[in-house]
Structure 1
Amino acid sequence: MEKRPALILKLLTEEYIKTATPVASQALVEKYGLDFSPATVRNDLADLEKRGYIKQPHTSAGRIPTELAYRYFIKQLKNEAPDHQTQIILKPYFNDLDNNWKQLAKTLAQLTDNGIFWSFHRHDSYYTGLSGLLSQPEFKQLPLVYDISQVIDSLEEIIADIFDEIPEKPVIRLGSESPFGPFSSTILTKYRYGENIGLFGLLTPIRNDYPKNFNLINYVYNHIQSKE
Structure 2
Amino acid sequence: MNTRQQNLLKIITSQYIKTAQPVSSQFITDKGKFKLSSATIRNEMAELEAKGYISHPHTSAGRVPTERGYQYFVENFLEDLTLNKRQQDFLRKVSQPFSRFEPQVAKELAKSMAEFSNGAVFVAFSDNEFYYTGISYLFAQPEFFEHEVVYNLSQVIDHLDTVVNKIYDSVMPDIEIYIGSQNPFSNDCSVVITNYQVKGNSGVLGILGPTRMDYKNNASLIKYCQQLINNLN
Q: TM-score, normalised by structure 2?
A: 0.93
**Residue number among 190, 198, 201 corresponding to 2:206 in the alignment:** 201
**Cα contact 1:168–1:191 (8 A) shared by 2:** yes
**Cα contact 1:94–1:227 (8 A) shared by 2:** no
1:219 positional shift: 1.4
Extract unaligned runs of 5+ from structure 1: none
Give the match for residue 184 of structure 1: 189
Q: Which runs of structure 1 show a deviation greater than 6 angstroms over 4 or more consecutive aligned residues?
A: none
String of CA shifts for 1:131-168, please: whole Å, max 9, x gaps.
Answer: 10011010111111011110111111110111122112
**Cα contact 2:81–2:219 (8 A) shared by 1:** no
Give the match for residue 14 of structure 2: 14
**Residue number among 108, 114, 118 corresponding to 2:119 in the alignment:** 114
Identity over aligned pairs, percent: 39
In 1, distance between residues paired with 2:78 and 2:70? 11
1:32 positional shift: 4.1
String of CA shifts for 1:20-78, please: whole Å, max 9, x gaps.
Answer: 11111011111244211110110000001110001111164311100111111111211
**Residue number among 131, 135, 141 corresponding to 2:140 in the alignment:** 135
SS in 2 for 1:36: coil
In 1, distance between residues paired with 2:148 and 2:215? 24
1:128 positional shift: 0.4
Give the match for residue 210 of structure 1: 215
**Residue number among 177, 180, 184 corresponding to 1:175 in the alignment:** 180
Give the match for residue 156 of structure 1: 161
1:222 positional shift: 2.2
Q: TM-score, normalised by structure 1?
A: 0.95
Given residue 215 of structure 2, which amino acid in structure 1 is its aligned partner?
Y
Aligned residues: 228
Distance 1:21 1:159, change over 3 A: same
Extract unaligned runs of 5+ from structure 2: none
In 1, distance between residues paired with 2:167 and 2:61? 38
Give the match for residue 125 of structure 1: 130
The RMSD of aligned alpha carbons is 1.4
SS in 1 for 2:206: strand
**Cα contact 1:55–1:65 (8 A) shared by 2:** yes
